């Protein structure tokens, strides 16, 4: 294998909360929820959907449950879920590049009760449907390590930037080093996932905390309806939520990922093919940001030399960069990405960042308050970013259907023309792409907000 997993360490300074109060961003209500409905002081329990209420900051100290009334319209479109549970143990079936993924279908269904049990079920060679019924906290499972970190950013607005672990990358060379103690979970340790697994959460309060998932040289994996949170968020190199390296047929669907030290999802150098990332809620709100703006910068990093990925109907919220970064390598290297019907929401920085030898078709995405929807760097990749009726119509000659245009609201920056038709004859010629019919872009915000994240596909 050409790569090893990027890893990091994290500071052991998370403050304890009262057992009866829910911390910021935690769940405080919803259908089937049985936990505490009281938020920490200064937080309000806010309605997100019928299955999920969340403790959020408010201007007052009230903790009253608030339901925000919204009107949503579901568009008629090809979606990744249906009304019934499939033999894989997951709800629905994937579209895009991961079509045909069955996970643990036909295997043993297990419900772990301890962290050790879950670790064993994930990593063994048995075909399994693994049902999570709670949050498995691995934060201190592997102990801590005393190390050094440097400060690459300085905030002058009262916010706290991330510090950077002093490791083999050399980023701290010539910098003042500070003592720091990091959790090994999420840094040098991840939960190894073997082939033919379905990992599915029950309800809206199931998942893992303090550690990520590692899928290396595996195939046929479904990750659905779980939370992955709190991987050493104070530190760059604090851990990735989901690592892919030489993985194929992986469906990452309806998950909630937040407060991560490094990437929400990273694909390493070995090819990652047959990957669909759908209906997830990527929450970038953080107390430690290199941009000094409370937005998570390290969202998605796709580096695999022959990656084929679909990102569809995800809510990408409060990030600042890498939305995704893809490509950047020369030689016999090529990546194909279909970016469709995603909702980019409050991005204080850039979204799409296509590097050399990446081929990107972006259609039907909605950009709300995004500073820079597409970097279009001079060393950038090959893109077809649909903005006009004419550009949408050109697709029919290559794909047998028109493309859906991307919409930018009035608070979003402009995008220069990026309509290289070779993308359509390349990415657009693949059945996983031309067979995926987008919903109308006007329906994207309401649909995504009503259908993303945990608690929707119980």
- C-alpha torsion sign, points 452, 454, 456, 458: positive
- The tokens describing 393, both together, are 């119509």
Given the residues 259, 262, 285, 322, select the one marked as catalytic. Answer: 322
User: Facing residues of 301 across strands?
Assistant: 266, 325
With a CB cutoff of 8 Å and minimum separation 6, the contacts of 77 are 341, 437, 438, 439, 443, 447
* 322 is annotated as an active-site residue: yes
Count of alpha carbons within 13 angstroms of residue 126, beta-carbon side: 12
Distances (CA, A) of 22 to 41, 63, 294: 9, 10, 21
Distances (CA, A) of 432 to 251, 310, 315: 14, 9, 21
Other Cβ atoms closer than 10 A to 388: 11
In three-state form (DSSP H/G/I as H, E/B as E, the rest C), the secondary structure along the chain is CCCCCCCCCEECCCCCCCCCCECCCCEEECCCCCCCCCECCCEEEEEEECCEEEEEECCCCCCCCECCCCCCCCCCCCCCCCCCECCCCCECCCCHHHCCCCCCCCCEEECCCCHHHHHHHHHCCCCEEEEECCEEECCCCCCEEEEEEECCCCCCCCCECCEEECCCCCCCCCCCEEEEEEECECCCECEECCCCEEEEECCCCCEEECCCEEEECCEEEEEECCEEEEECCCEECCCCCEEEECCEEEEEECCEEEEECCCCEEECCCCCEEEEEECCEEECECCECCCCCCEECCCEEECCCCCEEEEECCEEECECCCCCEECCCCCCCCEEEEEECCEEEEEEEEEEEEECCEEEEEECCEEEEEEEEECCCCCECEEEECCCHHHHHHHHHHHCCCCCCCEECCCCCCCCCEECCHHHHHHHHCHHHHCCCCCCHHHHHHHHHHHCCCCCCC
Please list the active-site residues: 322
């Amino acid at each position: 294998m050409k790569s090893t997993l990027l890893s990091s360490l994290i500071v052991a300074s998370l403050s304890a909360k009262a057992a009866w109060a829910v911390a910021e961003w935690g769940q405080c209500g919803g259908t089937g929820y049985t936990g505490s409905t009281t938020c920490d002081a200064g937080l309000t329990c806010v309605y997100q959907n019928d299955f999920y209420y969340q403790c959020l900051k408010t201007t007052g100290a009230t903790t009253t449950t608030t339901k925000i009334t919204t009107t949503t319209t579901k568009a008629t479109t090809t979606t990744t879920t249906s009304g019934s549970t499939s033999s894989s143990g997951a709800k629905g079936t994937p579209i895009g590049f991961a079509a045909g993924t069955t996970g643990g279908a036909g295997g043993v269904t297990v419900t772990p009760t301890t962290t050790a049990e879950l670790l064993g079920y994930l990593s063994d060679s048995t075909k399994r449907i693994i049902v999570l019924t709670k949050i498995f906290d691995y934060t201190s499972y592997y102990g801590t390590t005393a190390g050094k970190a440097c400060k690459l950013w300085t905030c002058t607005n009262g916010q706290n930037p991330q510090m950077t672990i002093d490791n083999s990358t050399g980023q701290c060379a010539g910098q003042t080093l500070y003592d720091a103690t990091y959790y090994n979970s999420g840094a040098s340790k991840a939960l190894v996932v073997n082939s033919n697994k379905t990992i599915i959460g029950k309800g809206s309060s199931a998942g893992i905390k303090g550690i990520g998932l590692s899928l290396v040289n595996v195939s046929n994996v479904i990750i659905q309806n779980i939370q992955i949170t709190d991987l050493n968020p104070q530190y760059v190199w604090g851990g990735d939520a989901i690592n892919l390296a030489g993985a194929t047929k992986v469906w990452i669907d309806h998950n909630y990922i937040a407060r991560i030290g490094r990437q929400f999802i990273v694909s390493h150098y070995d090819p990652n093919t047959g990957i669909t990332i759908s209906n997830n809620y990527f929450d970038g709100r953080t107390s430690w940001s290199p941009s000094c703006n409370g937005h998570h910068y390290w969202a998605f990093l796709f580096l695999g030399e022959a990656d084929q990925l679909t990102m569809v109907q995800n809510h990408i919220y409060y990030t600042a960069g890498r939305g995704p970064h893809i490509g950047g390598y020369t030689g016999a290297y090529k990546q194909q990405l279909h970016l469709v019907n995603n909702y980019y929401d409050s991005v204080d920085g850039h979204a799409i960042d296509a590097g050399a030898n990446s081929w990107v078709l972006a259609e039907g995405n909605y950009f709300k308050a995004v500073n820079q929807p597409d970097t279009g760097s001079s060393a950038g990749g090959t893109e077809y970013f649909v903005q006009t009726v004419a550009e949408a119509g050109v697709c029919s000659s290559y794909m047998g259907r028109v493309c859906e245009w991307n919409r930018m609201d009035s608070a979003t920056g402009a995008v220069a023309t990026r309509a290289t038709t070779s993308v359509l004859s390349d990415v657009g010629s693949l059945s996983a792409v031309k067979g995926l019919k987008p919903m109308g872009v006007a329906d994207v915000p309401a649909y995504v907000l009503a259908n993303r994240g945990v608690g929707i596909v119980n």
